[in-house]
Copies of this chain bind each other. A is one copy, B any other.
Amino acid sequence: MKRAFNFSAGPSMLPLDVIEKVAAELTDYNGCGESVMEMSHRSAEFKQILKDAEADLRDLMSIPDNYKVLFLQGGGTLQFSMVPLNLMTGSKKADYIVGGSWAKKAAKEAAKFGDVKVVASSEDDNFTYIPKVDKSQIRPDADYVHITYNNTIYGTHYAEVPDVGDVTLVADMSSCILSENIDVSKFGLIYAGAQKNIGPAGMTLVIVREDLLGKAPADIPIYLDYQIHADNDSSYNTPPCFAIYVAGEVFKKIKREGGVEVLLKANVEKAKMLYDYIDGSGFYKCPVAKEDRSLMNVVFVTGNGDLDKKFVSQAKEKGLHNLGGHRSIGGMRASIYNAMPKEGVEALIDFMEEFRKENA
C-alpha cells in the first residue's frame, strides 16, 4: 500500500492513524458488536460519540458556553440558505463581503430572502485579495455581515477578523476551521463543511450564538431551522452518524497532539516553505497579495496553460494528487490542510523544482 499525497481542495486527506483506527473498529466498535455505521442514533453508544465530539470541539476552539454546536447535513450550500432564513429576520438586511465565488453564491442565495448588499468585492481583480472594509461601510441595522474567512478557490484568507462594529459577523470557515486559533466570541455564527479539515463529506458544522436562535419564521422548511437542531442535540432526525464519529476521532487526535496551536505552527511552516519556493523560483507565480495568502490553499501558475496541465498530470504520476486549480480558474492549487504532512509539501517542492528544470 502506497498512500498518495492528496492535495485535493476537499474532500481531502485525513490523518492516516485516524483512518486506520476507524478501519480496525469498523465491524465492532468498542466491543459493542456493531459498526458505527449500523448504530442507532438513539443508542447510548452513539450518544456518547456525539457528546464527546462536541465536548472535544468546544475544548479545541474554546467555544463559549452561550454558543450551540450543531452537526448538520447539506454542506456550505445549505448554509447559504439557512443563514439568511434564520438570521435575516430583523431588518431583513444583510451585508456580504465577497472575496470569492463561494461568497458570491452565498450572497446570491441570501438575496432570495431579503435585502442583500455586497459592501465590498475583490472580483475586479479575480479575487486575488481580501476586500478591505471599513465598518462605516456596513449598514448599522444589517442583521449580519457575511464573510468567507478562507477562499478555497483563490487561496486568500483574512489575516485578522474584520471590524464590523456592532453588527453580527457570520463566517464560512469551511477551508480553515481548526487550522488556526479563532476567537469564536467575535462571531455570531461560524459554519464549515467537514470535508477539508474535519472529516468525510456529508457533515456540516455550525457554531451559533444562542441569542440568534429562535427567530426564524415558522414557515421555513423544518430542517432549515437551527432551533430545531439545537433543541434536539443535532438529533431531531437521523444525523450523519458516521461522519460525526470520524470527525470526533480527528478532534481527539488534535487534542492528543497538543491542540490547534500545534497545528497552526505546522501549517505556517508548510505554507512558508511552499510560498518561499514559489516566490523564489522565477518560474512559478502566486497571484495572491502576500498579506492575504491562505495557509490552506496555495494557488500558483506557470503562466502557460498547457504547461500547467502537464504539471498536474505528471505530478499525479509521482503520487502527488489533485494539484489542478479549480475548474473555474485553472492553474495549480495545493491544498495543504491539517492532515497534509510536511513530507507532502517537501515532495511537492522537489517535484516542482524538477519540473522547472525540465520546462524553464
Q: Which residues of A contact B (CB under 8 A)?
A: 1-4, 6, 8-14, 16, 19-20, 22-24, 26-28, 32-35, 37-43, 73-78, 80-82, 85, 109, 112-113, 193, 195, 199-203, 218-224, 236-243, 246, 319, 321-322, 327
Contacts and interface: CB of A to CB of B under 8 A. Distances in A.
A201 B3 contact: no
Residue of A11, A199, A239 with most chain B CB atoms under a 10 A cut-off: A11
B221 A81 contact: yes
A78 B229 CA distance: 13
B3 A241 contact: no
Given A26-B26, A81-B223, 15 more contacts: A1-B28, A3-B34, A8-B43, A11-B37, A11-B41, A11-B241, A19-B26, A38-B200, A43-B322, A73-B78, A75-B237, A112-B218, A112-B219, A195-B238, A202-B240
B26 A3 contact: no
A39 B14 CA distance: 10
B26 A23 contact: yes
A200 B81 contact: no
A200 B36 CA distance: 9
30 contacts: A1-B27, A3-B28, A4-B32, A4-B34, A6-B40, A10-B40, A10-B238, A11-B41, A12-B40, A19-B26, A20-B27, A23-B26, A26-B26, A33-B319, A34-B321, A37-B246, A41-B201, A73-B75, A73-B202, A74-B74, A74-B78, A76-B237, A80-B222, A81-B223, A112-B219, A112-B220, A112-B221, A201-B240, A202-B202, A240-B243
Residue of A109, A199, A236, A240 with most chain B CB atoms under a 10 A cut-off: A240
Contacts of A33: 1-4, 6, 319, 321
A20 B116 CA distance: 50
Residue of A78, A223, A321 with most chain B CB atoms under a 10 A cut-off: A223
A35 B19 contact: yes
